[in-house]
Amino acid sequence: MGKLALTGGKPVRGPKAKWPQWPVHDSGDVALLSAITNSNRWSFDGPYEWQFAKEFAAYHKSKFGICCANGTVGLQIAMEALDIGAFDEVIVPGMTWQATAAAVLDVNAIPVLVDVEPETWCLDLAKVEAAITAKTRAIIVVHLYGCMTDMTKLAKLCRDKGLYLIEDCAHQHGAFWKGRGVGTLGDIASFSFQESKVLSSGEGGFNMCQDRKLFERLYSLRNCGRGYKDDMTNAIQSGNFRITEWQAGILLGGLTRLDEQVKRRDVNAQYLNALLAQIPGVLPMRRRKDITQASYFNFTFRLDWDILTAKPGINNSHFGAALHAELNTGFEPPYEPLNACGLYKPHTKKRHHLNAEYWKKIDPTRFKLPVAEAAHRKNGLAVHHHVLLGATKDMDHIATAVAKVVKNIQELNVEGPQASRKRYRALAL
Ligand SMILES: Cc1ncc(COP(=O)(O)O)c(C=O)c1O
């Protein structure tokens, strides 16, 4: 019997210690949903949807905001609003949820995968610059987990090169860069309200922009192509990507809690990072000083295998399994790199076979992503944001467990009891 819970020792947190739940709701939300049900106004430019859109945009200091079906569609219609389409190149980080690149494919453009920075897993701007060609139309930046790339530099690069900057804010509702809300730092932005996200309606999405013409195009694109305010002379081709009043109702409830939750997570994350920084072999992620409020979809950190003295073949999955056993919550490697991602398979759909050259260009294996690969296969770990809603003593538990696994790392065996293989539901998406 070893010292680690995975090898039969006593866990840092017993089974009775509960983590905060996610998602959350209160009786006001239930009352509002009931009122919506009774109102017989369930969808299509309903009053709650527009109330939410106004308030959510205002919280981020955005001029315009509009709801849509989900964060994948939000990215798609953002590109369509900018008239990005067939054969255009769009730069996408090599580490992100597959939807960021899939949306590019769905407008018949070419996702150009670019590697990320080791300390943030967000776009590496030197590599972005090297990937720009005459065909590049836009860069999609993903504010990943709880980190950001240098948004001031990226915005300048886009201005200098005449490229659109699209923010994928699926992870970071309520994050601010130099006092400006995410979603307002580029030309257009997309958010997700899928269940695991920091503001959720089960499913749902949102677009922000600062330009009225773009806003009116977004309105049409999510609304079967109808012109804004039913101006049919300006109708365009599109589908139905609207949300329902129930989704808007639950989002209005969530929005009343968002700021307090984001702040609580940020305080806890900074406290936890300070503790992790003291553990040899553990590297906290970088929090850029221009982030005036960080928002965390997942809390992440890295392992330094030059310092950790584990048996050959031991990696972040084994470390995560040991943490899971100590803490009874899922610690997983970050997203698969998009050049080897089980759910990013451009060549499985005939509709993407525009011609032989396009087929070649959308092959994800042509891109080299060493930093994203190392983060997924060896160095990175991520835990869902619900843990950051806990108390200071919960952060102490996490740091104690990490230090315990580091100290007893020789107990980890490649063939030993593995991660509870059940992926934590929220991390799976
Ligand atoms: C970074 C990122 N972009 C886009 C999306 C897509 O959002 P949705 O699931 O609402 O379609 C997600 C969802 O997990 C995401 O994590």
Q: Which residues pair with 93 in a beta bridge?
A: 114
- Give the model confidence (pLDDT) of 40-64 as tens digits: 999 999 999 999 999 999 999 999 9
Atom of ligand 1 minimally distant from the CA of 297: 16
420 — pLDDT class (breaks 50, 70, 90): very low
Pocket test for ligand 1, best of 68, 76, 166, 192 (most atoms within 8 A of CB): 192
Cβ distance 300 to 145 under 8 Å?
yes
Strands 380-384 and 188-192: unpaired
Ligand 1 pocket, residue 167 CB under 6 Å: no
Say how many Å lie between the CA of residue 398 and the centre of ligand 1.
27
d(CA 311, CA 42): 58
Mean of the pLDDT values across residues 139-158? 98
Residue 185 Cα to chain centre, angstroms: 16
pTM, full prediction? 0.97
Say how many Å lie between the CA of residue 196 and the centre of ligand 1.
10
Ligand 1 pocket, residue 71 CB under 6 Å: yes
- Give the model confidence (pLDDT) of 194-222 as tens digits: 999 999 999 999 999 999 999 999 999 99
d(CA 305, CA 399): 18
Pocket test for ligand 1, best of 95, 332, 429 (most atoms within 8 A of CB): 429
Residue nearest to atom 16 of ligand 1 (CA): 97
Q: Does 232 have pLDDT greater than 90?
A: no
Ligand 1 pocket, residue 142 CB under 6 Å: yes
Q: What is the structure's pLDDT at 416?
A: 62
Return the number of other C-beta atoms located less than 10 Å from residue 107's C-beta: 19
Ligand 1 pocket, residue 97 CB under 6 Å: yes
Say how many Å lie between the CA of residue 99 and the centre of ligand 1.
6
Q: What is the structure's pLDDT at 1?
A: 87
Q: Does 344 have pLDDT greater than 60?
A: yes
Ligand 1 pocket, residue 171 CB under 6 Å: yes
> Which residues, 6+ apart, have CB-to-CB distance to 14 below 8 Å?
none
Q: What is the structure's pLDDT at 426?
A: 43
Atom of ligand 1 minimally distant from the CA of 203: 10
Tokens coding 23: 């998602």
Say how many Å lie between the CA of residue 181 and the centre of ligand 1.
19
User: Which range is least confidently modeled, 184-193, 317-326, 366-375, 417-426?
Assistant: 417-426
Cβ distance 298 to 145 under 8 Å?
yes
Residue nearest to atom 7 of ligand 1 (CA): 71
Cβ distance 192 to 144 under 8 Å?
no
Ligand 1 pocket, residue 429 CB under 6 Å: yes
Pocket test for ligand 1, best of 68, 76, 77, 97 (most atoms within 8 A of CB): 97
Say how many Å lie between the CA of residue 428 and the centre of ligand 1.
11
The residue with tokens 């329902």 is 244
Q: Does 17 have pLDDT greater than 50?
A: yes
Percent of the chain with pLDDT over 70: 97
Cβ distance 352 to 359 under 8 Å?
yes
Say how many Å lie between the CA of residue 377 and the centre of ligand 1.
22
Tokens coding 347: 């060549």
- Give the model confidence (pLDDT) of 261-283 as tens digits: 999 999 999 999 999 999 999 99
- Give the model confidence (pLDDT) of 390-416 as tens digits: 999 999 999 999 999 999 999 999 986
Say how many Å lie between the CA of residue 194 and the centre of ligand 1.
7
Residue nearest to atom 8 of ligand 1 (CA): 71
Ligand 1 pocket, residue 155 CB under 6 Å: no
Q: What is the structure's pLDDT at 182?
A: 98
Ligand 1 pocket, residue 168 CB under 6 Å: yes
Sign of the four-CA dihedral 394, 21, 267, 404: positive
| pLDDT mean across residues, the chain | 96
Say how many Å lie between the CA of residue 76 and the centre of ligand 1.
12
> Which residues, 6+ apart, have CB-to-CB distance to 310 below 8 Å?
318, 409, 410, 412
Residue nearest to atom 14 of ligand 1 (CA): 429
Cβ distance 386 to 426 under 8 Å?
yes
Opening angle at CA 242, ends 343 and 172, nearest 5: 55
Say how many Å lie between the CA of residue 138 and the centre of ligand 1.
19
- Give the model confidence (pLDDT) of 244-256 as tens digits: 999 999 999 999 9
